[in-house]
A and B are shown apart, each in its own frame.
Chain A
Amino acid sequence: MSAPDPTTAAAAETETLSRLYRGLLRIRRAEEGILELLLKNKLSSTMCHVSIGQEAVAVGVCDALQPDDYVTSTHRGHGHFLARGGAMSALMAELMGREAGACRGRGSSMHLVDASIGHLGSNAIVGGHIPIATGAALWTALRGEQRVVAAFFGDGATSEGIFHESVNFAAVQRLPIVFVVENNHWAMSLPWAKATAQPSIEVKAEGYGIVGVDVDGQDVLAVRAAAREAVGRARRGEGPTLLGLSTYRFLGHSRADPSSYRDKAEEEQWRLRDPVVLTRNLLLARGLSEGWFDEVDRDVAAEIATAVEVAENSPPASLNEVFSDIYATPLEGTR
């Protein structure tokens, strides 16, 4: 094979990086917008966990997936939803408790879903969706499909028993799944060092007989590259991967949390590694103009403004359906 044309290769890389940057910025600005809406009492629930600082995890992993693949997500899942291709208006309307929301206004921040793009739901029980993702991978493998499942969960979830049960079963069955450990180093107030005596995801994976990697989760290109390898392995039938992505939530666990348990110097160090800024710098170095960044800013702002407008014009969630929609199969016998 001849060496690729350096100019073309560089242009392709710039294009990829531009796409990733746009993805990062959409999440960042959307969540900033969500926090504003929260302050204005425009959200339907008080529960709201933003992923500001962690965007490269969602964007890098989802960029490595194909349209038919599946993802499952967490209580901190706005980013996963948007990166997977969920509509901005479905997110905003959901948070505002409207019929046009992803869950028709029933789920709010912690429960987002879009089955049409393989987003199988974000879950408010830490680790609770890991076996569900595993089951989706089981079915896709039994059917001989080419789909891969990416299960996002935090460092906290690795302390749950269900993490072990799921990873172990997926390893035994060589299921097409990527377990994405979105390690923001703090399970609410508990630091990673107090949650595990073995901080390396790579080493943890060895115990299950599968591949594990420890990757810089602030570097969107590194995340994407590692995710592509893991997804490829899964698609080739070579089994699951534990994809450890080291990241940091810049804000508290939730709005109620000033994160007083964290060292301010630690927070400042991590803020120097803001994935939006890092990616922007890479693009600047590649010669993208300020004008280009302004245009992306305007696009994203317009998308969010339109989404909020769609949400505000959507009817509120139905109270009647709270009673009528409990079951998928209505009872013949209920009389």
Chain B
Amino acid sequence: MTKTLTPPRTVTYREALREALFEEMEADDRVIVMGEDVGKYGGAYAVSKGLLERFGDRRVIDTPMSEALIVGAALGAAAVGARPVAEIMYMDFVTLAMDQLVNQAAKLHFMFGGQLSAPMVVRVQQGVGRGAGSQHSQSLEAWFAHVPGLKVVAPSTPADAKGLLKSSIRDDDPVLFIEHKGLYARKGTDPGREHTVPIGVAEVKRSGVDVTVVAWSNMVHTALAAAELLAGDGTDVEVIDLRTIAPLDMQTVLASCRRTGRLLVAHEACVTGGLGAEIVAQVAEQLHGQLHAPARRIATPDVVLPANTTLERALVPDADAIASAIRDLVRS
């Protein structure tokens, strides 16, 4: 290959996901896509556009509005040899499939003595940004981090979206793959064809020495913006993108906190029982006496999210709120 001066190609988060599906379906005929409106419609957020035309209706299956069936049938197919990617349109609708995800998919491998496994992906999207309201905006990742047997990922960039989706499809366990409705149009570097990202490994997105901010999904970008706001004041913020929610990569988080002595976890999910509580607890348990300030969380308060973009914006932490929380931490 000759070197060119062309800048690296960029892709959107949506395109990166679509490319991962295309590539994995081309490489492995056991990969099928199923869910509501995933075929001709192309998916509620247009991720699966073009798959039906390319792979046909035996591999891209439009289902009735039956979320439990979608997850359960994906699980049954997975148990006998398929590698299904099921789409649940909104995280909020996963509540309709809880038994299949929590009692069935998560348990299958261990409970049946290792005889069966569930190589399946359940793609969902969550989060605020569109005024989608109380039943279409919740961030529920912490629930699933509480269920051993599930793997849960929540990428923040196109490259991670592609790399983690490919890894999730190739993984032999059930993976809940959490997208964010505010990320689909976001552009980033195209990682190229054979790009995978390991499940269970966080990434330091920005190095810093004064404070560690842990975030995931869309909140990573808000945290990075907050870090830029503070750079001018001489506060050097380290931002960690968890990428995988379960199992947590606490080694990366703890190593960073040992260096900075300060932790802020920022998340879009409401504060009580959120993942921030777990991360703060583990850091408090393991780094007691080594921190310069108590570890903190910043999150959406415990409210029912309104379908009103003005109210929505007022409730979810933005870059200014995160920057302010960091200032408090650094001062203390």
Contacts of B199 in A (CB 8 A): 331-333
Selecting from A101-109, A189-197, A262-270, A275-283, the interface stretch reads A101-109
Is the CB–CB distance between B200 and A166 below 8 Å? no
CB-based nearest B residue for A102: B113
Selecting from A17-25, A34-42, A51-59, A110-118, the interface stretch reads A110-118
Tell me whether A296 is interfacial, beta carbon within 8 Å.
no
- Counting chain A CB atoms within 10 Å of each CB, which of B58, B69, B75, B81 scores highest? B69
Is the CB–CB distance between B72 and A135 below 8 Å? yes
Is the CB–CB distance between B77 and A113 below 8 Å? no
Selecting from B102-110, B215-223, B302-310, B318-326, the interface stretch reads B102-110
Is the CB–CB distance between B76 and A131 below 8 Å? yes
Contacts of A168 in B (CB 8 A): 64, 66, 69
Contacts of B111 in A (CB 8 A): 103, 106-107, 111, 121
Is the CB–CB distance between A120 and B116 below 8 Å? yes
Is the CB–CB distance between B69 and A165 below 8 Å? yes
Complex: A113 Cα to B82 Cα, angstroms: 19
Tell me whether B87 is interfacial, beta carbon within 8 Å.
no
Is the CB–CB distance between A326 and B99 below 8 Å? no
Complex: A327 Cα to B114 Cα, angstroms: 9
Tell me whether B190 is interfacial, beta carbon within 8 Å.
no
Is the CB–CB distance between B113 and A333 below 8 Å? no
- Out of A101, A113, A133, A331, name the residue touching B76 (CB < 8 Å): A133
CB-based nearest A residue for B78: A135
CB-based nearest B residue for A103: B113
Contacts of A325 in B (CB 8 A): 109-110, 114
Contacts of B74 in A (CB 8 A): 135
A 108-148 contacts with B by CB, 8 A = 111, 113-115, 120-121, 123, 125, 128-140, 142-143
Is the CB–CB distance between A135 and B79 below 8 Å? yes
Contact A131-B198, Cβ < 8 Å, known A113-B112, A121-B116: no
B 200-250 contacts with A by CB, 8 A = 200-201, 244, 247, 249
Is the CB–CB distance between A165 and B200 below 8 Å? no
Complex: A11 Cα to B74 Cα, angstroms: 45
Complex: A70 Cα to B79 Cα, angstroms: 11
Tell me whether A329 is interfacial, beta carbon within 8 Å.
yes
Is the CB–CB distance between B112 and A107 below 8 Å? yes
Contact A326-B58, Cβ < 8 Å, known A128-B99, A333-B200: no
- Out of B80, B113, B119, name the residue touching A113 (CB < 8 Å): B113
Interface size on B, residues (CB 8 A): 52
Complex: A106 Cα to B116 Cα, angstroms: 14
Contacts of A115 in B (CB 8 A): 112, 115-116
CB distance from A311 to the nearest CB of B (A): 15
CB-based nearest A residue for B96: A161
CB distance from A123 to the nearest CB of B (A): 8
Contacts of A161 in B (CB 8 A): 68
Is the CB–CB distance between A128 and B103 below 8 Å? yes
Complex: A152 Cα to B213 Cα, angstroms: 51
Tell me whether A251 is interfacial, beta carbon within 8 Å.
no
Chain A positions 149 through 170: 1 when the CB is less than 8 Å from some CB of chain B, otherwise 0: 0000000000001100110110
Is the CB–CB distance between A103 and B112 below 8 Å? yes
B 248-304 contacts with A by CB, 8 A = 249, 251
Is the CB–CB distance between A326 and B149 below 8 Å? yes
Tell me whether A172 is interfacial, beta carbon within 8 Å.
yes
Tell me whether A334 is interfacial, beta carbon within 8 Å.
yes
Tell me whether B73 is interfacial, beta carbon within 8 Å.
yes
Contact A332-B201, Cβ < 8 Å, known A136-B79, A326-B149: yes
Is the CB–CB distance between A331 and B200 below 8 Å? yes
Interface residue ranges, A against B (CB under 8 Å): 70, 101-107, 111, 113-115, 120-121, 123, 125, 128-140, 142-143, 161-162, 165-166, 168-169, 172, 322, 325-329, 331-335
Interface residue ranges, B against A (CB under 8 Å): 32, 58-59, 61, 63-64, 66, 68-69, 71-82, 84, 99-100, 103-104, 108-119, 148-149, 151, 171-173, 198-201, 244, 247, 249, 251
Additional A-B contacts beyond A128-B103, A132-B73, A334-B200 (12; CB < 8 A): A103-B112, A114-B115, A115-B112, A121-B116, A131-B76, A133-B76, A138-B76, A142-B59, A169-B64, A169-B69, A328-B173, A333-B244
